[in-house]
Structures are given as structure tokens and as C-alpha cells.
Amino acid sequence: MGLIINKETKVLVQGATGKQGSYHVRSMKEFGTQVVAGVTPGKGGQTVEGIPIYDTIKEAKEMHDIDATLILVPAPYVLGAAVEAIENGVKLIIIITEHVPIQDTVKINSLADSKGCTLVGPNTIGIINAHEGVKIGIMPAFLYGRGKIGVISRSGTLSHETASNLMFRGLGISTVVGIGGDQVIGADFVTVLKELREDLHTEAVVMLGEIGGNREELAAAYLSQCIYGKPIFCFIAGRNAPPGKKMGHAGAIIQGNSGTVQSKETCLQQAGVVVATSLEDIVLKVLEWSQGISGEGVI
Amino acid sequence: MYLYEFEAKNVFKNYGIPLAQSGVATSPQEAREIFDELGKPAMVKAQVMAGGRGKAGLILPVNTSEDAQKAAETILGRYHQGEKVQRVLVEEQIKTNKEAYASITMDFAAGMPVVMVSSQGGVEIESVAQTQPDKIAKLYLNPWLPLHSFQLRELAIQAGLRGKIALALEDILGKMIKIFNELDAVTVEINPLIITEDERVFAADGKLITDEEAAFRIPELNVVERERVDAYAQKANEINVTYVSLDPQGTIGIIAGGAGLSMATMDAVYALEGKPAAFIDLGGGISRERMKETLVLMARTPGLEGIILNVFGGINNCLTMAQGLADFMDEEHPKFQLVVKMRGHEQEEGWRILEHYNIPTVKLETTDVAIRLLMQTVQEEGRSWA
């Protein structure tokens, strides 16, 4: 199952019965997502916001088609929840939970790979397709206007900020994928870039990165080897970050030269990406492109 | 958590990895006593977090009790990359024939642990990795598949380490992987791994970094108290948010949701020629009480003239955050300017509370607009709160 979700995508929620869980089930349903069932071990038989809760995914699968699962369970239970989903043939696994141990993510990722599943996260806001009016995630959908710009972000709040700032200036988004802020994640910039390239509703792509790791560098390597066919804009947060400090997101640790803002911007620029220097600047650059003012072209 | 060498070696010892004899000293006198107990030539090694100790003169060979005491005197109390040396490890010298390298570490981009072995260990291992990458034998581990000991022996052979040494490596690597798995480590490293004339193998250094997110399930490690240089960071840790000190002359405090937005807000304050004193990343799942505590903590930052609260109702909730802010206003009656930029889940309910308290609120505009508003208000009205 790809990352461009639609009205037909049938969604399971693992951890739907908590206060957060039921809030987001309601919010997804109101936006137009087909949330078909929830799984919380020990709470089978209950209903939340009109959806049935089961003790196991196996039972849920007997009653419903399930294409994707949204995992909201506490960090110590994420490994078990994700493995249950993968072993039951759910093809898109989205993990919202933060503070998941790295070795658990490694296990989930490796199992997902071997079974042909796509993992998004952990520590992500999920996916929203504003064009279709569907989301599997926790983002406030009213901050995401409908339009033609795809967004890939390591940070949830940077995604909210950029999508809403674009909307206030009359621009909208097609699909946003939060890839998550952890050091080990499933789908990365490259995975999502490939899908947005094929997406007919996406005419340009915004990448929101951060210091630390080498995922932006890997995206640059991919982009320099292909004819992408759409313009790409990026913003990297953390140019003034004190070196070597751990900044909340596990991913944001400066690792030698490869993780600095300079290294990422240089690589991306060389690959033809339009590099913005601030949150304000990225919106202006996209606006100029959409109005045909800037000559920023297609890579 | 990053363990000191002596702490990592305690773990290694418990898992049966061969080590030189050693003891930890906090005073020159103690160092001398440990030397006398060992009764042979030793190394006195500073226990600090950062690398590059050898080049900084923080590892000294000693041959007499007198030497050991003097070396400890020289090293203790010195600073290495901002950290004061409080302990030295006094360790027997082992006659080396060859220095090898062994580690298991998380390859974050690949999303898999990788075991690495090289016959060319020592301080130049990083340049070996760059200039002769084939000199480092690598084995990626699938976390779901059993690892057989022959694979580790094969890895040693691939690195050019044969016979008795390959057998010793099979054993040591197996133990390192056990540590890696059982302690939720991200790195277990031995550099150098000393090979003696008679082909015995010892760990001469030890590096162990564990994943703090897994602290809930790993056995408690026997480690010394970590000195938190920053009392604010310490307090933030207690209320489960992240506090990062920035400019000591800074006047603006940033509270934001998420590391990305915290850093982008910091970048924007600098770009608008403001001086951020610190930022706090709220992370997710913020409660009313923790929101208030976060504001109290930021308000204590010296020299503060204004705070910008730049948050979203996404994983957090606008109403909850506004309630925490209201509690803060009621209890603390702050004497500085405050600007809030907030939107997302339950924004209307949150905005209503902010209006009630007359807090300038940026609803549908950008971070730059909010920062400008704060800087302008500070300039016009100073620190006093209306």
C-alpha cells in the first residue's frame, strides 16, 4: 500500500480507547477518513465514536477490510502492536507514538520490509491527503488547505506551520507525509519523494528537515541521479543550534559534518533543490514559484 | 546514556570480556595506592565523556608509585572539552603486539545494527575507514534472525585475524552483541582491542552508549551521578520537557512544540536580530500542570524580557495549553512580555482564555510576525506587565 491514501483506504486504530485515541478517531472520521475498527487488548466489545473495538487484529480482520493502521499505544507497547499488525497482513503501519526504543523500531522496520509493508514513523503526525479529504494521523486538518504542494517533514509542528502559512497565502497542499523525528524511521525523504513524483495532484514538493543524521543528504543523492520532473523546496531547522546538544527529537544530534545545516543545504542545492533560509522564506519561495515570478524550475 | 570508560568496563567485566586489571581513583593518593596494588607499569587515564584524551595529554604511562601520583595530580581537575576531570582509571599496561578494533553500533540510516572488526585499530581508525574501507569487515544483523558464532569467526577472518585470535574475537564479539541487545545499546565499542605476543586479546578501552528511551526495561546500570552543568536542563528533565540554553546575554525565551519548531523559532529570532536566552521543547502529551511548570521554569531564566509561546494543537491541545498558561498568570503575575502564537485542535477554546487574560495572540500569521510583535512590545513597554 502506497503513501498516497484516499477515501477508500480502510483504517484501523490501535489505542483508540484512550482520551487521545477517541479524540483522533473522531477527528479523522469528521475529516472523511474511513476508520473501520479499533484494537485495544482487554476492551473488545466496546465502541468508540461509533467504531467497534476488538481484542485482536485477527478478529477485526474477520469483520473488516483493513488497509492501514494508526498506532497510538504507549511506547513500551508499540513493538507488540506493530508486529501484530504486520503479521496480520496490514500493509501500511503509521506509528504516532514518541519515545519508542530504537531497537524496537529496528525490529518493526526489518519485519515490515520482509513482509512488503510500509512503515511511517515512529514519532510522526501521520499522513494527510488534503486533495482527497482524508488523513491517517493527528494533524489538525483545518490547517491544511487543499492544493498542489506535497510536503515531507521530519517535524510535525513544522509541517503544521508550513501548511497553514501556505494556506493563509492562498496555497494548498496535496499530500503531507510526516516521516518522524527519530534516528531510525521507516519511510524516509527518498521513499516519499518517489511517491510524490508519481502523484498527479502534486506539482511541487516541500522538504522540511532538521540538523542531525544524513536523511537530507540521502535525498540529495537520489535527486541528483534522477530527473524528478517537479520543483522541490527545502528548509532545514537548527542553523543556530549549539553543537553537540541533544535537542528533544532523538534525531537532532549533530553527527560530525554530515548532519549540519551547511552540509544538508549544500548537497540539496547541488541537486537542484531551492533552499529557503527560514520558515517565512520557504513560503515566499513557493509563492513566487506558483505566481510564476521566480524562474525556479523543475529538477 | 553515555557511560564513562570505567563504567563501560564494569559492564564488560560482568559479561566476561577480558580486560587489563584496573582501579578508579578520585585523588592522587588513591591513584598511588591502586598502582601499588597492581605492582606493575600502568596507564593513568582521565575519565571524561569526550574523545581525544591521548592527544590532550590525559592518558599518561607510569612506572613508579611516585609517577602514578604525579600523573593523577596533573590530570585530575583539568578540563577536557568543558568537562572537569574528576576521576582517573589506573590500569595495568599490557605489552601490545597489535591493536585491533571491534564494535557493534546502530546504523541509523540503514536501520540495522552493524558489527565492525578491523586489524588496524587505534586512534587512526576513522582515517582507516575513509582511506581503506576494505580494512573494516562489516556484518549487518537482522534483529529477528539467530546469530551463529561461526559468522563472527568468519568476520574476524575477513578482517585478517586468524587462528587463536579469531577464536578469541568470536567470543568477545558474541559478548558485545549480548550487551548490545540486553542493555538496549546504540554503541558498544572496543578500540583498541589489544593483541599480545602470545595471541591473547584484551579490551584496552571501552565505549558503551545506551538508548535512554529504553530505560524502562533495562537493568539499572551502576553509574556515577551525572553532573548536570545546567540546573534549568535538570529541572526541565524532571517535568519531561527539553530546556536548551542559548545566548547568556539573551532576552527572549522560546517555548515551542517539537524540536523542529523550537529550532526554527530560535533561528528566526536570531535572523530578526533578537537574542534568544533559551528554548524549551514541550514535546507531546503536555498537561495543564506541565504547561504551567514549563512557563515557571522559563520565567526563571535570568535577563528575560519576553517569552514567545509558539505551539500547535496537534499531539498537544490548545485548550489544555491555554489553561496551563492561565494558571501561570494567576499564580506568578509575570513581569515580562508574552506573545502567544497558537493554533490547532481546540484553538477557539484556547484563544478565548488568552483573550480573557489580554495576552497578545497571533492566530493566523507566521512565526516571524509573532516574534516581531514580541520584540516591538518589549521595546515599547519594557518588562512591566500591564
ipTM of the predicted structure? 0.91
Q: Give pLDDT tens digits for A217-227.
A: 999 999 999 99
Same topology, domains B98-214 and B231-380? Answer is no
Identify the closest residue of chain B to A210 by CA–CA distance: B260
Identify the closest residue of chain B to A183 by CA–CA distance: B108
Class of domain B231-380: alpha beta
Q: Please check whether residue A265 lies inside any domain of the structure.
A: yes
Tell whether A77 and A153 lie within a shared domain.
Answer: no
Is the pLDDT confidence value at A213 over 50? yes
Q: Please check whether residue A154 lies inside any domain of the structure.
A: yes
Q: Give pLDDT tens digits for A55-67.
A: 999 999 999 999 9
* A155 Cα to chain B: minimum distance (Å): 5
Confidence grade of residue A248 (pLDDT, cut at 50, 70, 90): very low
Q: Please check whether residue A285 lies inside any domain of the structure.
A: yes
Q: Give pLDDT tens digits for B37-48.
A: 999 999 999 999
Q: How many domains does chain A have?
A: 2
Would you state the pLDDT for residue A19? 87
Percent with pLDDT over 90 in chain B:
76
User: Using CA atoms, how far apart are residues A208 and A134, in angstroms rounded to an integer?
Assistant: 22
The CATH classification number of B21-92 equals 3.30.1490.20
Asked whether the beta carbons of residue B314 and residue A157 sit closer than 8 angstroms, the reply is yes
Asked whether the beta carbons of residue A248 and residue B343 sit closer than 8 angstroms, the reply is no
Residues 6 or more apart in contact with residue B61 via CB below 8 angstroms: B41, B42, B43, B93
Structure-model confidence comparison of residues B170 and A18, the more confident one? B170
Of the ranges A31-45, A235-249, B124-138, B325-339, the best mean pLDDT one: A31-45
Q: Please check whether residue A95 lies inside any domain of the structure.
A: yes
Mean pLDDT of B328-355: 94
Q: Please check whether residue A133 lies inside any domain of the structure.
A: no
Residues 6 or more apart in contact with residue B346 via CB below 8 angstroms: B313, B317, B318, B319, B320
Tell whether A149 and A262 lie within a shared domain.
Answer: yes
Confidence grade of residue A253 (pLDDT, cut at 50, 70, 90): very low
Dihedrals φ, ψ of A265, to 5°? -65, -40
CATH number of the domain that residue A254 is part of: 3.40.50.261
Residue ranges per structural domain of chain B: 21-92, 98-214, 231-380
The CATH classification number of B98-214 equals 3.30.470.20
Q: Please check whether residue A131 lies inside any domain of the structure.
A: no
User: Using CA atoms, how far apart are residues B285 and B283, in angstroms rounded to an integer?
Assistant: 7
Would you state the pLDDT for residue B123? 77
Q: Give pLDDT tens digits for B43-84.
A: 999 999 877 888 899 999 999 999 999 999 999 999 988 889
**Using CB atoms, which residue from B108, B216, B285 is nearest to A183?**
B108
User: Using CA atoms, how far apart are residues B136 and A202, in angstroms rounded to an integer?
Assistant: 43
Tell whether A88 and A152 lie within a shared domain.
Answer: no
Q: Provide the residue range defining the domain that includes A252.
A: 139-290
Q: Please check whether residue A2 lies inside any domain of the structure.
A: no
Supply angle C-alpha A187, A263, A103, rounded to 5.
35
Chain B residues in contact with A138 by the CB 8 A cut-off are: 314-315
Tell whether A214 and A286 lie within a shared domain.
Answer: yes
Q: Please check whether residue A128 lies inside any domain of the structure.
A: no
CATH number of the domain that residue A83 is part of: 3.40.50.720
Asked whether the beta carbons of residue A181 and residue B259 sit closer than 8 angstroms, the reply is yes
User: Using CA atoms, how far apart are residues B55 and B53, in angstroms rounded to an integer?
Assistant: 6
Mean pLDDT of A178-198: 96
Would you state the pLDDT for residue A242? 81
Chain B residues in contact with A153 by the CB 8 A cut-off are: 260
Tell whether A84 and A163 lie within a shared domain.
Answer: no
- Identify the domain boundary among A65, A91, A120: A120
Task: Look up residue A74 and give its three cell numbers.
Answer: 504507549
Chain B residues in contact with A237 by the CB 8 A cut-off are: 260-261, 263-264, 267
Identify the closest residue of chain B to A256 by CA–CA distance: B126
